[in-house]
Amino acid sequence: DTAVSQTPKYLVTQMGNDKSIKCEQNLGHDTMYWYKQDSKKFLKIMFSYNNKELIINETVPNRFSPKSPDKAHLNLHINSLELGDSAVYFCASSQPGHDYEQYFGPGTRLTVT
C-alpha cells in the first residue's frame, strides 16, 4: 500500500501556465510538507501545514500555494510557471510527536519549457 502518493509523476508544461501537483497520504498523519529538489540535488523545504497553521519558507515565491481539501491531502498550486521552477517536488507527512520521521512521496518531476 502506498503511504504517500503524488500525481502526476511527470509534468511537462510551458512557461506562464498554471499547474497543480496532488499529494495524498493514507497514514492518518496531521502534518504535511512540500519540498523542492533542484537540478543540483539540493532538497529545500517549501511549506509545512497542519490543520492549524501553515508555515512558509520565506524564500518561496507567492506563485506557489498549498491547498488542503482535507487532512489527507495537500496539493501544490503553481501560477505563472517559470523555467526556474523545473525541479522534482516531494510531498511528505508526519504524525504529532514524531515529526522527526517524515514519510516522503515518490516525487513529481516538473519540467517547464
Partner 1 sequence: DAKTTQPTSMDCAEGRAANLPCNHSTISGNEYVYWYRQIHSQGPQYIIHGLKNNETNEMASLIITEDRKSSTLILPHATLRDTAVYYCIVRASNNAGNMLTFGGGTRLMVKP
Q: What does the binding site for partner 1 look like in residue numbers (CB under 8 A)?
A: 4, 31, 33, 35, 41-45, 48, 53, 55, 57, 90, 92, 94, 99-107
Least Å distance between CB 13 and partner 1?
A: 21
Q: Pick the closer one to partner 1 by CB: 12 or 43.
A: 43
Q: Residue 8 or residue 16: which is nearer to partner 1 going by CB?
A: 8
Q: In angstroms, give the least distance from the CB of 78 to partner 1.
A: 19
In the DSSP assignment, the letter for residue 70 is S
Q: Is the peptide bond before 8 cis (omega within 30 degrees of 0)?
A: yes
Closer to partner 1 by CB, 14 or 59: give it. 59
Beta carbon of residue 51, minimum distance to partner 1 (angstroms, whole number)? 14
The smaller minimum CB distance to partner 1, of residues 52 and 83, is found at: 52
Q: In the bound complex, what is the minimum distance in angstroms from residue 77's beta carbon to partner 1?
A: 19
**Three-state secondary-structure class, residue 14:** coil
- Taking the C-alpha atoms of residue 66 and residue 91, their distance in angstroms, rounded to an integer, is 11
Dmax (CA) of the chain: 41
Instruction: Give Cβ neighbours of residue 42 (< 8 Å, ≥ 6 apart).
Output: none
| Cα distance between residue 31 and residue 52, in whole Å | 9
